[in-house]
Amino acid sequence: MVTEDDVRALALALPETAEKPMYGTPAFYVRGKWFARIRDEGDLLVLPVTSTEEKDGLIAAEPGKFCTVPHYDGHAIVLVRFGAVDAEEMGELLADAWRLRAPKRLAAGFDG
Using the predicted structure, report yes or no on whether residue 27 has a pLDDT greater than 90.
yes
Count Cβ neighbours within 10 Å for each residue of 39-60 and write b for 16 or more, e otherwise: eeeebbbbbbbeebeebeebee
Question: Which pLDDT does position 32 carry in this prediction?
Answer: 96
Using the predicted structure, report yes or no on whether residue 41 has a pLDDT greater than 90.
no
What is the value of pTM for the model shown? Answer: 0.95
DSSP structural state of residue 112: -
Domains of the chain (ranges; CATH) run: 4-107 (3.90.1150.30)
Please give the Cα distance from 112 to 107 (Å, whole number). 9
